[in-house]
Amino acid sequence: MANGQDIAAEGMIPGARAFAKELAPSFIDHTCIVNGFAPPDGSPLGEGVGAGFAWCELHCGSAVTATLLAGSNPLGDFHAIDTRAALLEQARGLAKDAGVRNIAFHELSVEQALSASFPMFDYIVLNGIYSWVPLSERGMILAFVRKFLKPGGAVLVTYNARPGWNRLDPFRRIFREATRGANMDDKSRFKAAREVYAKLLEAKAPALMATGVTPASLADLEHIPLEALAADYANDFADPLYVTEVFSDFAAIDCMFAGPIDMAESAPVLMRREPFKSAMEPMPTAAGKELAKDMLRDTRYRCDVFVRGGRRMAADNRAMVMSGLAFVLEQPAALTRYEARLPYGEMRFDNEHAHALVDALETAPRTLGDLIADAAARGMDADAVVGNVHALLVSAQIRPVYRPTPEATQSARKLREAIRGRAGTPDAIGYLPTAYGTAFVVPMPDQVFLGLARNLAADEMARTASQTLPPMGDVILRRARAFPQHLSRYDALGLSS
């Protein structure tokens, strides 16, 4: 049987634009809190409660993430910056149709943005930009963060990382040089570079043999998406970075490392177990610990959060931890896995307490305080709740979200209607926003099914959806048959209203 993610991903039409859940303020807040840092003041969890926050994304592309977050967080002030006018115009159209008024789209380069007038931001996100641009532009990105990030604000940065990319460096360079100046598309360039590389492997060129790349691993490169081929191989400026380099860059603008967005990769989790404990503990700095971890993990990609000024959370701020953030299931309860393969080995938590937590989260997102209170009524120890919530977090089966507000409920509903009206069109988006400050995967067929009567048979649902959606083989019928399993979750998230 396919896992929850596979099932959720079915029905995504080619070109359906993506949403990056890690860029949500609630996700960034959670990374700050679990690592002992205060979230930004403008956060609903911060010291400036109720004041609203300002959020910005550089190189936002189609601005799907920015627009969906704006619709889910109507008290936030969102800014999306990019040079590509056509993509921004598409985003403006969606925001206008949905009445999302708390987002501004700026057709600017990073250099131009440095001279523009912006508010001071609580959050700045740098997704898919930092290790893909020239060094001079990287300097301007840092200057932008220095100028516009508030004290106590958080910046999220993703980047291709070393040492994981080291073994691919020879192929990346051959890719660029073997076809430089040729009038070829990226796929043809890849084929030509692969032939050169294969000959070097056949000759056992020492520089290639030392990287450990085999003909079999080279064959795996055939499956690289074209957009990744263009960004990571054809792009002359793409340059994977060691974590220590990124730490130094952000330290220069008074930004301290809070933690990786993925809890399974966090030092406190990994350092409890070998071989991470022995390799990381002797390192005197956070950068050194992360470098040792990356060496053990052969890390190729990182998504990290830094905090301006590194303000620590008060040790007695129990209310923020207990009632600030809520947690929501990433999949229907029936698809929850009670074991997971993590960097340090297998984790198993198939116990009655974990099942009780999942049953509670199936009905609605709940705060840690709610879950502990529910457990106490059943005679369960609070430590058992915390342990199982931790297990669900590190196995990426629950997500931190904000508690809903009436304003967010209304704003998200209007945006959902606008997105569902685009299902099956070139402007389709495979995600729907909620009142919980974020959006969730809802495949195209399910977006259509949500507008149908609930008593329809699966065959009739599939026939109706087929009139709206492009040809998708038997995916629509499979989704129709599985829809009742997903509907309870959509109801719990408020996505069916």
For the chain, which residues make up each domain, given as ranges?
A: 1-165+240-328+405-497, 168-234, 329-401
pLDDT at 266: 93
Q: Which of 126-130, 172-176, 314-318 has the lowest mean pLDDT?
A: 314-318
Average pLDDT of the chain, as a whole number:
90
Confidence category of residue 472, pLDDT binned at 50, 70, 90: confident
pLDDT at 51: 62
What is the assigned CATH class of domain 1-165+240-328+405-497? alpha beta
Query: Encoding tokens for residue 316?
Result: 């007695």
Per-residue pLDDT tens for 319-369?
Answer: 667 678 999 999 999 999 999 998 888 999 999 999 999 999 999 999 999
pLDDT at 428: 92
Per-residue pLDDT tens for 204-257?
Answer: 888 888 877 766 767 777 777 777 788 888 888 999 999 999 999 999 999 999
Q: Which of 328, 336, 342, 471 is nearest to 400 (CA)?
A: 328
**Mean pLDDT across the stretch 111-127?**
97
pLDDT above 50 (res 14) = no
Cα distance between the two ends of the chain: 30
Confidence category of residue 5, pLDDT binned at 50, 70, 90: very low
